Amino acid sequence: MTEERRAEITACRAASTPGRWYWDIRPRSNSVSLLSANHSTVLDATRWGFGGATIRMIDAQNHWLVSGIHEDAEPHPGRKHHAGWTLTSRRPDAVFIANAGVFVDELLEEVARLQAENNRLENEAQQYVRGAQKLAQRFTDKPAFSEYYDAAGNCHRCGRFFTVCNGCHE
């Protein structure tokens, strides 16, 4: 994941309502709301004229005032010719909600990549440890180092560096 993409995701989350969100479902009043940790409305539904319902969210200009999501809607990027019949919201919470699935997928992919890199580095470190242990054993169990290796640490027989020598003198 690039630094720019991480910055985009971070900025989107920072612009949205902070804290943990939760659903507040009230069967007796037939209402469903998405609330923030301090119980302010992130999203709910209300009547819109005689045609149905609309989603209400925190107003982008007047934080903590709830207004219809359609009030500041704008044409989809690259689709201004459809502005008469389909719009999108640029409200921070709406943008965050719309992108949440993509963000989670990308972040999980990055976690998997980092875990694989960590495993590779751990294996590499273990190889170095085994090489150091092999070298330490050669110094303690065998005659002097110079009998098998030159000043640069290369084996007299196979020419390989001492940590990767196949033990041809053993």
Report the pLDDT value the prediction gives residue 85, as an integer from 0 to 100.
65
Q: Is the dihedral of CA 89, 94, 95, 99 positive or negative?
A: negative
What's the CA dihedral at 63, 91, 55, 104 to 10 degrees?
A: -120
Average pLDDT (15-23) is: 86
Instruction: Give phi and psi for 106, each to the nearest 5.
Output: -65, -40
Q: Is the dihedral of CA 93, 95, 96, 97 positive or negative?
A: positive
The region, left, alpha or beta by phi > 0 then psi within -120 to 50, assigned to residue 33 is beta
Residue with tokens 């409305």: 41
Tokens of 56: 């209400």
Q: What is the pLDDT of residues 73-123, one digit of tens each?
A: 777 777 777 766 677 777 788 888 888 989 999 999 999 999 999 999 999
